[in-house]
Chain A
Amino acid sequence: MARREFLGGFELLVLLALIRLGDEAYGVPISEAIEKSSGREVALGSVYITLERLERRGLVSSELGEPTAVRGGRAKTYFRITGKGLREVRQAQRTLIKLWRDVPQLHGGSA
């Protein structure tokens, strides 16, 4: 049986950001979306490494945009979640919800 890899915490955040951003998902809005929701500074290098790993696993696809002078003449790379990626996110959601249930320490929100 092929070994099935679980999504890591940061991988899940990146995939959720991709789903929310849709066609406008490239490095800047992805990192900003994660920063806004987590309240922590995100290293863009880590976002790219994660996206490359997800792309190798077939969970994300990418496309190079047009270069622009505003970005020092560099093109944006747009990322999009694949059908396989979406299934992985749903699976992770189900797993987390199951684990979350019936954990008294996580009810009430004071901890």
Chain B
Amino acid sequence: MSAARPPRVASWLLQHLASSPRRESLIGDLIEQYQNGRSTAWYWRQVLAAILVGAIKDVRANKLVAIRAVAIGWLLYILLSFPVNWLSGVVIHSRVTSWLAAFWWSSHLTGTVLVYVACAVSGWIVARLHQAHSVAMVLLYGASVLFFEYGMIGWTFSRHPPMPQAMLILPLFLTMGRPISILIGGLWPRRSDGADMRRVPVQ
């Protein structure tokens, strides 16, 4: 029998980010249902729900740890902004990269890339300091940054009503990169621990 393979990225995310001690059985159940005719969209919904539900359970069970993780994340987020600003200026004004100044977008691009790197570093540190619940804590920290930054954009634009709404698209898009960088930094090096891992080779 040729079996349909579920989406690889979704399976990878589930394998690495779901915090259930019965993760392997959960993945097996999803594969079984997918092979019984469930859609790819259904599989993705199930994977995202499993990751989110697991993270919410971890946060609710460890409220003080969650508060500490968000506080540490924000402290790093603020502290890292100083070297980012400095480094951004150095890159733009150095002789080696001075040609960049010819492009109007170069300072924005340099600053944005450096902010993303700083976000990834802060996510990595938050994950390392909360290894037992790293997924939940990094997701919570990333979500807090997203809500704050989007709130700031909304507040700024509400103070300048004549601004065209199309101008919102770029800041919204670029800001989305911050929590994504936090997640990449915090979750990328994570390996699955396989609490109930018992497998046979797939034919």
Interchain nearest-CB distance for A75 vs B (Å): 5
- Name the residue of chain A whose CB is nearest to the CB of B196: A64
The answer to whether A43 has its CB under 8 Å from any CB of chain B is: yes
**Given that A43-B53, A45-B50, A74-B24 are known contacts, is A67 also in contact with B29, CB under 8 Å in the complex?**
no
The answer to whether B22 has its CB under 8 Å from any CB of chain A is: yes
| Docked pose: A64 CA to B21 CA in angstroms | 12
> Quick check: A76 and B25 within 8 Å, CB to CB?
yes
The answer to whether A68 has its CB under 8 Å from any CB of chain B is: yes
- Chain A residues with Cβ below 8 Å from B57 are 49
- Of B20, B52, B203, which is within 8 A of A52 by CB? B20
The answer to whether B198 has its CB under 8 Å from any CB of chain A is: yes
> Quick check: A69 and B201 within 8 Å, CB to CB?
yes
| Docked pose: A41 CA to B54 CA in angstroms | 18
Stretch in B30-38, B148-156, B185-193 touching the partner: B30-38
> Quick check: A52 and B201 within 8 Å, CB to CB?
no
Interchain nearest-CB distance for B92 vs A (Å): 46
The answer to whether B167 has its CB under 8 Å from any CB of chain A is: no
| Docked pose: A73 CA to B203 CA in angstroms | 9
> Quick check: A74 and B25 within 8 Å, CB to CB?
yes
- Chain A residues with Cβ below 8 Å from B50 are 43-45, 48
| B:150-203 near A, CB below 8 Å | 196, 198-203
- Of A28, A41, A52, A73, which is within 8 A of B202 by CB? A73
- Chain B residues with Cβ below 8 Å from A43 are 45-46, 49-50, 53
- Chain A residues with Cβ below 8 Å from B201 are 69, 73
- Of B20, B27, B35, B46, which is within 8 A of A49 by CB? B20
Most chain A CB inside 10 Å of its own CB: which residue of B21, B24, B57: B24
| Docked pose: A69 CA to B201 CA in angstroms | 7
The answer to whether A9 has its CB under 8 Å from any CB of chain B is: no
The answer to whether A4 has its CB under 8 Å from any CB of chain B is: no
| Docked pose: A20 CA to B22 CA in angstroms | 22
The answer to whether A72 has its CB under 8 Å from any CB of chain B is: yes
A–B complex contacts, Cβ < 8 Å, 21 sampled: A27-B28, A27-B29, A31-B29, A41-B42, A43-B46, A44-B26, A44-B50, A45-B20, A45-B50, A45-B51, A45-B53, A45-B54, A52-B22, A64-B25, A68-B200, A70-B32, A72-B31, A73-B28, A73-B199, A74-B198, A76-B28
Beyond A43-B46, A74-B24, 14 additional contacts (C-beta under 8 Å) are A28-B29, A43-B45, A44-B29, A45-B46, A45-B50, A52-B20, A67-B199, A69-B200, A70-B35, A71-B29, A72-B31, A75-B199, A77-B22, A77-B196
